[in-house]
């Protein structure tokens, strides 16, 4: 091979090796994960990996053994809401308490996942178990508004019709929407019992088993989809100490069965991965984040 062809081959391989900064704000050169179906995200509450991914929790343990597992995914802030905001914007945006939207100052601008998805023309919905009325701003019953990050963004709160369409009740809408295949991104916040906040792990385990079975039976998942099973923060709260979180990644296009990554990831990594899957420009907050793209086969072609 001559020198010119060797140089071209080297550049091509380098372009597939992972994310590198292009020097342009909000843009990164990445190898896009081969996720062509729907992306599902399920977020649980307040437990560390060594308390959840154990044989007693049959669904969590089985899924973590058979699919992808991130063994060094951490949270570094408390309480819950700042973590949810970081998951969907790459930053806590100055939020430090778990108050409902009427207590916290709305996050301004459009630097968040909801606005990214809509700007890219990607159909999506967030499903809140126990919410009842779509786009509900106040906690009641088993619905906790501060487990619903999307209602804290001013661009969503100031557009009631959009909010009602995008943030809906899980029991009322999820199965119908799943069957329709209309949505490419579906976020799920279980209620405060099923997410382990108020109830024991076995309750959440049973809920997860049922919900994952629903999802994996769907064409939306089977046709190259992905499931991210995440936790907002760990149980260790002393001085904001980091906690290894139970983190499971599922996909028909997983790079290999029972894949385990010991790469350091955080909530910014999750958001960067979603941006890369949908080939959206990185936000300034995720431009240098390490994505979880290693879990997936790389996408071939543009």
How far is Cα 112 from Cα 92, in angstroms, rounded to an integer? 11
Q: Give the mean model confidence (pLDDT) for residues 261-276.
A: 97
Q: Give the mean model confidence (pLDDT) for residues 183-188.
A: 98
**Confidence check: pLDDT of 102 > 60:** yes
Domains of the chain: 28-237+262-295 (3.40.720.10)
Least confident of 13-22, 132-141, 262-271: 13-22
Token pair belonging to 134 = 């779509």
**Confidence check: pLDDT of 4 > 80:** no
Residue 148 CB neighbours (<10 A): 24
pLDDT on residue 6: 34
Task: Name the region of 166 (left: φ>0; alpha: ψ -120 to 50; beta: rest).
Answer: alpha
Phi/psi of residue 227, nearest 5 degrees: -125, 125
Please give the model's pTM, rounded to 2 decimal places. 0.89
pLDDT on residue 242: 63
pLDDT on residue 297: 95
Helices and strands in the chain, H and E counts? 11, 12
Please name which of 133, 120, 125 lies closest in space to residue 177, comparing C-alpha atoms: 125
Residue 217 CA neighbour count, 13 Å, CB half:
9
Structure-model confidence comparison of residues 78 and 120, the more confident one:
120
pLDDT in tens, 5-36: 333 333 333 333 333 332 233 333 457 899 99
- The 3 state secondary structure assigned to 121-153 is CCCEEEEECCCCCCCCCCCECCECHHHCHHHHE
């Amino acid at each position: 091979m001559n020198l010119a062809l060797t140089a071209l081959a080297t550049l091509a391989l380098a372009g597939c090796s992972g994310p590198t900064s292009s020097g342009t704000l909000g843009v990164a050169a990445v190898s896009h994960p081969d996720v062509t179906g729907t992306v599902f995200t399920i977020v649980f509450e307040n437990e560390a990996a060594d308390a959840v991914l154990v044989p007693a929790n049959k669904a969590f343990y089985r899924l973590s053994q058979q699919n992808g597992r991130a063994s060094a995914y951490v949270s570094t802030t408390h309480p819950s809401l700042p973590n949810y905001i970081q998951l969907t914007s790459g930053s806590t945006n100055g939020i430090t308490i778990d108050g409902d939207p009427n207590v916290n100052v709305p996050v301004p601008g459009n630097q968040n996942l909801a606005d990214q998805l809509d700007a890219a023309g990607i159909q999506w919905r967030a499903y809140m178990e126990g919410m009842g009325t779509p786009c509900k701003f106040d906690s009641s019953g088993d619905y906790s508004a501060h487990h619903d990050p999307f209602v804290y963004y001013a661009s969503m709160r100031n557009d009631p019709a959009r909010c009602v369409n995008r943030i809906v009740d899980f029991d009322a809408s999820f199965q119908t929407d799943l069957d329709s295949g209309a949505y490419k991104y579906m976020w799920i916040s279980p209620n405060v019992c099923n997410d382990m906040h108020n109830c024991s792990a076995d309750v959440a385990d049973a809920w997860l088993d049922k919900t994952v079975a629903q999802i994996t039976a769907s064409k939306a998942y089977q046709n190259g989809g992905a499931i991210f099973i995440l936790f907002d923060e760990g149980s260790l709260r002393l001085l904001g100490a980091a906690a290894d979180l139970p983190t499971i990644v599922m996909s028909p296009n997983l790079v290999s069965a029972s894949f385990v990554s010991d790469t350091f990831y955080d909530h910014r990594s999750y958001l960067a991965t979603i941006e890369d899957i949908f080939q959206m420009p990185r936000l300034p907050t995720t431009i240098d984040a390490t994505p979880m793209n290693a879990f997936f086969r790389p996408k071939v072609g543009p």
